[in-house]
Structure 1
Amino acid sequence: MKNEIGFVVKARPYPPEHIFLMDTPDFVPAPELWQWIKSIFLNPEHKLFNPDHVHLGAFYYPQIAVMWAKGGFQKQGRFVVGQTEKIMINASGWKKERQEEQFYQWFNDLPDYLITIDATYAQHANDVDFCALIEHELYHIAHKKDEWGIPSYNRETGKPKLTIQGHDVEEFTGVVRRYGANKEVQEMVNAANQRPTVAKADIYHACGTCFLRVV
């Protein structure tokens, strides 16, 4: 399908209709979404290929698992529609077994990383917004670097070592470069391009513990 900015996006997967019904599971595994991600953003032959994610190409589903959630949730005053996490079960005994069993029921395996997408948001988002959300979550799974800043690899498998990384600001630079700034990032850009309303010297003299360089 051709969207409003002119590039063609292979028909993207949509959440299954049954997730929106009453008395149905709130979470549904989405292997079709991972296959779509690999065919679009991890495929060097596709126009939307992003070399920033090339380290993810060696991983299969469900090493990196993807699932739909019926809806998003509130966190620190914001509504979350996507989340990426490294699966870490910090428990023992039955609690550990319960958590592991849940993952095996979903994925028939224990994932290393899990990307969860709000199905309600995905159902209504346009192609550009949806692509931006997916890439935002992919950017959270970074190629781990060693103490010298060199990308590291697993000696046994040869695959890249992965790690969770936070935002560049309130967004990833790569997402802004490819899709443009959201409202919060644009406000920061606008503020950075204006003369500061409070000079560094004023801050320094108002708070002597800041140790700001006065210029």
Structure 2
Amino acid sequence: MDYITLTISLIALTISGLTFWLTRIKSGVVKMTRPTVIFFGPDGAGAEHKKVFIRTLLYSTSDKGKYIQNMFVRLQRGESVQNFNVWVYDNNGLVRGSGLFINKNGIACNHHFLMPKDGTKYDFLAGKYLLQVFVESVDENPKKIFEQRLALTKNQEDEMKSKSAGTYFDWAPNTQNYFSHIDTGPKKDKELTNLIEKLMDEKE
């Protein structure tokens, strides 16, 4: 009987030690929930600058949490690859992405990914896209935390060009698919564009 009691005690101690290490000592990794909405289009009505927008929750797999210093999106269509590496997010107002502490509870907010002002032109053409989201933690290389395949039709491409509109991809949990639609966006997009432009200029 003493051997059984001792064995049970050792197993319980091992489990407690492992749990403490996983939740308190190990730094864990940053993950994200599936975005409820993804947007391809102009950064505001009529804007020349293009952006990718997502709404998601970032969270850490351990209680210790994780510091991330940057995020970016990589968009691939066929052989064409474009990085959207200017990161702006909502934090009681829009702020230029410069660091977030992500704990186990997570942070839900809107993320805007734009291209740098280096003269690069980009058009959302019809075709199949691979969207990848990367996070860069402190003292670590960027890691991919999400990817999703999406498609733009020729009609959507034409409307985006003629109406300066964007395409929204809304997640439907009942069918486990994204459904896309064209939208010119709310009127406040112009104000949003001006604010993002100001944040980008201040960073430069």
TM-score range, shorter chain: under 0.3
Greater RCO, CA 8 A, separation 6+: 2
TM-score by length of 2: 0.22
TM-score by length of 1: 0.22
Q: Which has the higher strand share?
A: 2
Q: Which has the higher helix share?
A: 1
